[in-house]
Amino acid sequence: MEEMFVPADCRCNSAIIVSDMHLRMENPAIFNLIAEKVKQENIECIVFLGDLFDNFHRRAEKHEVVEKLISLIKPLLGQVRKIVYITSRSSHDPIISEKIIADAEGTEIYVYPHPLRIQISGIRFYLTHGEIVIPNGAVAFVVNTVAALLGRELYIEKKLKERIQSENSWLVMGHTHIPGIDYEAKVANTGSWRSKWLLGLPYWRRPTRTGVLVKNSKVKLVKF
């Protein structure tokens, strides 16, 4: 399982990790919240763990992905040195065959079509949207919800971490829309920012607006 996590082309001294925005159009308010936290904490990198878009799941050329991404995350450009975007291969995100590296307003942009292994603040992280375990997000939500009722919080995350067999590293994912962190197991879930359904209808669950903050070799779940 570890071989699925490809080494990153960059490292980060500090980072905010978020996922599951599910955006159909530009939403500056969301990224302004993140930019505020970036400024408060002096963060170097932002990592998106998939489902950044909601309706862009088709094959796309590099220039189209870069253009749409830059337009979407414009409030963050120039605020951080690096933005890393790991796409979900099961749905929502663009389908690309290889990594994309670009630059906009002084911010380096890295887009990866696969899970990633990366050093952040001296800690090794295994990062994935989470679809490599259970492709359907609704099913993943049900599995973790039922497991939690049985006293097994972050069940999918812990099972994936066991398969990676890297005790001293962290595993962070999204996909389930259920935020959480376990310091003993060294796993975390970033939660969800989704607030709208199709046709602008309210989503059936409220957004958690959470993420994982990594700084000074410490990892914590934060709310925006």
* Structure token pair of residue 102: 């670009």
Extract the residue ranges of the chain whose pLDDT is less than 50.
none
> What pLDDT is recorded for position 26?
80
> What pLDDT is recorded for position 199?
62
Q: Answer yes or no: are the C-beta atoms of 15 and 116 closer than 8 Å.
A: no
> What pLDDT is recorded for position 218?
98
DSSP state of 121: T
**Rounded Cα gap, residues 182 and 188, in angstroms:** 6
* Residue spans of alpha helices (H) in 42-102: 62-72
DSSP state of 208: -
Please give the radius of gyration of the chain, using alpha carbons only, rounded to the nearest integer: 16
What number of CA atoms fall less than 13 Å from residue 166's CA on the CB side? 17
* Structural domains of the chain in order of their starting residue, each with its CATH number: 2-223 (3.60.21.10)
Q: Distance of CA 60 to CAs 8, 23, 27, Å?
A: 22, 17, 22
> What pLDDT is recorded for position 39?
97
Instruction: Provide the whole-model pTM.
Output: 0.95
Straight-line distance from the first to the last Cα atom of the chain, in angstroms, rounded to the nearest whole number: 32
